[in-house]
Amino acid sequence: MLEVKDIVKQYAKHRALDRVSFQINEGSIFGLLGPNGAGKTSLIRIINQITAPDSGEITLKGETLSQRHISKIGYLPEERGLYKKMMIGEQLLYLAQLKGLSKTDAIARIKIWFEKMDMQTWWDKKVEDLSKGMQQKVQFVATVIHEPELIILDEPFSGFDPVNVDIIKNEIIDLNRKGATIIFSTHRMESVEELCDSIVLIDKSKKILDGKVSEIKNRFRNNHYVIKYNGTIPLINPEANNLFRIVSLRSQENETKATIEILEHHRINEVLGYLITQVEIKELVEIVPSIHDIFVKQVKENY
């Protein structure tokens, strides 16, 4: 749906984005990841046409981005902001109209969202009279009020309590199910694992990783397994047969938890076949690297 091709953004002496390319599939929830200062905000601003790239191109459904796409994109910036003295209703109406909605449409949709988010009585309230969490809700509604096809959320959960995080998360999933493509920029890796289909990792202005979450995780599997068994006898590698390496071994009461790395050219079944003769196995789990681990590893390597 969205294709980012060879984007370069240069500020005076600092190159914010260096030939960044990736694709976002229609209907996916896409994670835009990277450490602070990597260039995420620059990229988001380019997609929103707030700034323009020095070279490269972004296409939405095959068309080069232009002013007419503005009404198809919804953007929730990391730094939230609303007019403090303006009433919530008027404010949402104004923002919706700026996105190209007619007044009657905008009012109807605001009412629907007010009901959905349990804020029916808020129309005449001023932003400055709301708590931070309530302001965030208003901001979220402002982002999606015009039913955009592409929704860009920069740290959407910051400032919400756990109850509201769930409400917003469910709304995001719901919007996605109804067909919206979502770009999700966050530092909370657990929500990336929970929500995202695909990710791109940007560091130091360059793309260092992208693809489907499952594929990336597969790529970063390193043949580590956790084995739990009864008894406290240590595992022994068969002599002259370098089947596995013991990474760690810890016994507690009458149970032992071992982490092993299966060595090259061997498979888990061989190891299992050997171990069964030694100990009574209770549990065997492969350690799949989390997005968090992959993020940290990649960024460190890129240092």
Nearer to another protein, 135 or 256 (CB): 135
By CB under 8 A, tell whether 77 contacts another protein.
yes
Q: Which of 21, 23, 51, 278 forms a contact with another protein (CB under 8 A)?
A: 51
By CB under 8 A, tell whether 108 contacts another protein.
no
Buried b (16+ CB within 10 A) or exposed e, 157-170: bebbeeebbebbbe
Task: Based on DSSP, count helices (H) and strands (E) in the chain, helices before strands.
Answer: 9, 14
Nearer to another protein, 70 or 249 (CB): 70
By CB under 8 A, tell whether 189 contacts another protein.
no
Buried b (16+ CB within 10 A) or exposed e, 58-93: bebeeeebeeebbebbbbbbeebebeeeebbbebbb
By CB under 8 A, tell whether 107 contacts another protein.
no
We find the least distance from the C-beta atom of residue 73 to another protein, in angstroms, to be 7
Nearer to another protein, 99 or 109 (CB): 99
Q: Tokens 């984007």 — which residue?
A: 7
By CB under 8 A, tell whether 49 contacts another protein.
yes
Q: Which residues pair with 152 in a beta bridge?
A: 75, 183
By CB under 8 A, tell whether 88 contacts another protein.
no
Distances (CA, A) of 254 to 58, 83, 151, 280: 60, 63, 53, 12
Among the residue ranges 93-101, 108-116, 167-175, 204-212, the one whose residues contact another protein (CB under 8 A): 93-101
Do strands 255-262 and 244-252 pair parallel, antiparallel, or not at all (unpaired)? antiparallel
Q: Which of 36, 64, 79, 104 forms a contact with another protein (CB under 8 A)?
A: 79
By CB under 8 A, tell whether 72 contacts another protein.
no
By CB under 8 A, tell whether 52 contacts another protein.
yes
Cα–Cα distance, 192 to 142 (Å, whole number): 23
8 Å CB contact between 96 and 174: no
Nearer to another protein, 81 or 162 (CB): 81
Q: Which of 33, 58, 82, 275 forms a contact with another protein (CB under 8 A)?
A: 82
- Which of these, 251, 250, 255, 262, lies nearest to 287 by C-alpha position? 262
For residues 114-143, which are near another protein according to CB under 8 A? 142
Tokens of 15: 């190159």
We find the least distance from the C-beta atom of residue 39 to another protein, in angstroms, to be 14
Cα–Cα distance, 74 to 175 (Å, whole number): 12
We find the least distance from the C-beta atom of residue 191 to another protein, in angstroms, to be 22
Among the residue ranges 26-34, 91-99, 188-196, 207-215, the one whose residues contact another protein (CB under 8 A): 91-99
By CB under 8 A, tell whether 110 contacts another protein.
no
Tell me the Cα Rg of the chain. 25
By CB under 8 A, tell whether 99 contacts another protein.
yes
Please compute, for residue 208, the number of CA atoms within 13 A of its CA located in the half-sphere on the CB side: 21
Judged by the rule CB under 8 A, the positions of this chain that interact with another protein are 11-12, 45, 48-52, 54, 70, 73, 75, 77, 79-86, 94-95, 97-99, 142
